[in-house]
């Protein structure tokens, strides 16, 4: 069972939108929601707003199998770091007693020390699979509107632990660990801008090449692109991958890593042919 743990704050959509995005982007949907809140008037009002949205969202994605009984409320006296961290620890300990549980900690709402506590438990609790997510917004004007009304290129739900692990490692050592055959390729510097002015074509080529070489998750692909001096943001890469899927150049599978399920990309035969075609155009 996937358990989503989040904190009610001043903005209801800081709570609602990350869950909405997760449900839209993932195959398995949370079946239980744990909400941490304080008794302050506005927070309690936001709690009720969030519960209504959560029920509607999860009913849509879960097929009317989600109700009030799937939402659990945990009140803390105030939002001090002591109270919050202690309550979060208690909730995680409750959930880890159930062997099949997987926890998703949403660090989007709340204060910075609350986010730090989420990351701490994500890294240090080894007895249960924990994922820590954060909803990144490129512009603050989208903070208080529903997720579907936010342009796809302006928001991204980030897996914080995976991103920190991948992007904190040296490019060459990371590449060698993923695929030993790629080491020499990572050292190869090509000025693609001198070959072609087609920005989309270059990104398509490098994305396909990265997937072929074993960079099989969205974050790993971004790492490969970054090594080639291409800074492609998550939402933009999402559109590239969607386009490659529609053209049947790549296929999507679901794999497990440390008991956590994630979306994996594999190159298809048509994708290999497309790589050869683009490489030929570069040499002309």
Instruction: Write the pLDDT tens digit of every residue in 177-224.
Output: 656 555 455 444 444 444 445 778 888 999 999 999 888 888 888 888
The span from the CA of 157 to the CA of 176, in Å, is: 27
Instruction: Indicate if 133 and 177 belong to the same structural domain.
Output: no
User: What would the mean pLDDT of 116-131 be, rounded to a whole number?
Assistant: 84
Residue 34 has a pLDDT of: 96
| Least confident residue range of 35-49, 94-108, 124-138, 169-183 | 169-183
pLDDT(234) > 50: yes
Question: 265 forms bridges with which residues in the sheet?
Answer: 252
Task: State the Cα angle at 127 between 121 and 128, rounded to 5°.
Answer: 75
Count structural domains, the chain. Answer: 2
Q: Can you give the residue range of the structural domain that contains 192?
A: 169-283
Whole-Å CA distances, 277 to 74, 198, 205: 57, 14, 10
Residue 74 has a pLDDT of: 96
Instruction: Indicate if 112 and 70 belong to the same structural domain.
Output: yes
Whether the model pTM is above 0.85: no
Query: How are strands ordered across the β-sheet holding 130-137?
Result: 71-75, 32-37, 2-7, 102-106, 130-137, 155-159
CATH number, residue 80: 3.40.50.10770
Task: List the one residue out of 201, 235, 234, 200 whose CA is nearest residue 220.
Answer: 234
């Amino acid at each position: 069972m996937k358990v989503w743990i989040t904190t009610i704050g001043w903005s209801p959509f800081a709570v609602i939108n990350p869950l909405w995005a997760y449900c839209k982007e993932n195959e398995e949907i949370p079946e239980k929601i744990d909400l941490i809140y304080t008794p302050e008037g506005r927070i309690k009002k936001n709690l009720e707003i969030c519960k209504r949205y959560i029920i509607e969202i999860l009913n849509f994605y879960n097929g009317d199998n989600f109700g009030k009984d799937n939402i659990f409320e945990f009140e803390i006296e105030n939002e001090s770091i002591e109270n919050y961290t202690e309550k979060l620890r208690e909730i995680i300990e409750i959930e880890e007693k159930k062997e099949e549980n997987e926890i998703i900690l949403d660090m989007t709402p709340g204060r910075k020390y609350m986010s730090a506590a989420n990351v701490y438990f994500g890294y240090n609790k080894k007895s249960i699979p924990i994922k820590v997510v954060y909803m990144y917004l490129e512009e603050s004007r989208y903070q208080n509107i529903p997720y579907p009304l936010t342009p796809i290129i302006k928001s991204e739900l980030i897996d914080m632990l995976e991103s920190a692990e991948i992007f904190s490692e040296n490019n060459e050592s990371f590449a060698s660990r993923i695929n030993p055959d790629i080491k020499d390729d990572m050292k190869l510097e090509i000025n693609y801008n001198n070959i072609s002015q087609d920005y989309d074509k270059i990104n398509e080529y490098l994305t396909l090449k990265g997937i072929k070489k074993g960079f099989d998750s969205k974050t790993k692909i971004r790492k490969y692109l970054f090594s080639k001096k291409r800074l492609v943001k998550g939402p933009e890469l999402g559109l590239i991958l969607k386009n490659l899927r529609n053209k049947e150049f790549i296929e999507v599978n679901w794999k497990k890593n440390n008991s956590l399920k994630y979306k994996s990309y594999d190159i298809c035969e048509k994708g290999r042919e497309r790589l050869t075609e683009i490489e030929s155009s570069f040499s002309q």
